[in-house]
Amino acid sequence: MTKETQNALTVLVGVAALRLGLTDAHLRYVKPALGPWLVVAGVLLVLLGGIGLVRDTRRRATVDARDDVDAHEAGHDQVDGHEHRGPSVAWLLTLPVLAIFLVAPAPLGSYAAQRNSTRLEAPKAKFPDLPAEVRGAVPLTLREFNLRTFFDDEKSLEGKTVRLTGFATPHGTNEVFLTRFILSCCAADGRPIKVALKGLRGPRPSADQWFEVEGTWVEPTTDLQGEALIGRAAELVVTSMRPVTAPSQTYE
């Protein structure tokens, strides 16, 4: 790999990092807090490679003006064993760059959600009061809804209408889960949080379509406690369900 190519590749990876960090695109892959650090990394890489490009161009210009002696020296520099062999593995860095610019993989969806389940641990602290109703329903995250369903001794959800937002994950022959992933760091550690939708009428929601769902809470049957089944999810009796566009932050 010539010096030129090394510089260009460094700039290229930097531009990819900047593109992710400066737009919402990074939210598909990593937690929001990493966005600014992607920008910092991108700027540093563009500087590392960019200064190299400028310097080499300038050096070549002065060398051309003088003799060829130095140019030979510079040429040796790259052909010599380690320097030449070592970074050829760097070509692989084009793969994530190509993936980001050309494929732009979607956020984790129903396929990953079907293959995994998440066991939430009981929170140590008592639950705070439910948030205020908005347009006749309590907006909750799927995680909060699950936690309150299984671990709230005071049954704060009893008799309430709640509003949840997530994508549909079909399961088995006729079950449908409303689903959302939670991330700790990046999509590789993403874990799905699910709510089983009950009392659905009409055509089955298609996989990965986003919905805003309103419904009422169902008290879990106690014999489910501790059972390791894929759908150990809170249940919601659906009163209304409308398709929405996916939010820019799909993870909870």
Partner 1 sequence: MTGEGMTGATVEAPRSTSAAPRARRELPALELLALALVAAGVLRPYLSGLFDDPAVQTWATIFVSITIQALPFLVLGVVISGLIAAFVSPEWFARVLPRRVGLSVPAAGLAGVVLPGCECGSVPIAGRLVSRGVPPAAAFAFLLSAPAINPVVMVATAVAFPGRPEVVAARFIASLVTAVVVGWLWVAFGREPWITRRATAAREGAGRWEVFRTSAQHDFLHAGGFLVVGGITAATLNVVIPESVLDSLAGSGVVAVLTLSLLAVMLAICSEADAFVAASLTNFSLTSRLAFMTVGPMVDVKLIALQAGTFGRSFALRFAPATFVVAVLTSVAVGSWLL
Q: In the window 15-54, what residues touch partner 1 (CB under 8 A)?
A: 15-17, 19-20, 26, 28-30, 34, 37-38, 40-41, 44-45, 48-49, 51-53
Under rule CB under 8 A, residue 69 binds partner 1: no
Q: How far is the CB of 239 from partner 1 (least distance, A)?
A: 30
Burial class (CB in 10 A: 0-12, 13-18, 19+), 107: buried
Among 78, 141, 156, 161, binds partner 1 (CB under 8 A): 78
Binder among 24, 65, 70, 95 for partner 1 (CB under 8 A): 95
Nearer to partner 1, 111 or 133 (CB): 111
Least separation in angstroms between residue 25's CB and partner 1 is 9
CB 242, min distance to partner 1, A: 24
**131: three-class secondary structure by DSSP:** coil
Maximum separation of any 2 CA atoms in the chain, in Å = 88
Q: Are 211 and 173 in contact (CB under 8 A)?
A: no
Residue closer to partner 1 (CB basis): 132 or 228: 228
231 binds partner 1 (CB under 8 A): no
Q: Which amino acid is at 34?
A: L
Q: How many residues bind partner 1 (CB under 8 A)?
A: 89
Residue 94 interacting with partner 1 (CB under 8 A): yes
The answer to whether 204 touches 170, Cβ cutoff 8 Å, is: yes
Residue 194 binding partner 1, by CB under 8 A: no
Cβ atoms of 234 and 157 within 8 Å: the answer is no
CA 102 to chain centre: 17
- Residue 205 lies near partner 1 (rule: CB under 8 A): no
- Look at the alpha carbons of 148, 153, 156, 162 in this order and tell me if their dihedral is positive or negative: positive
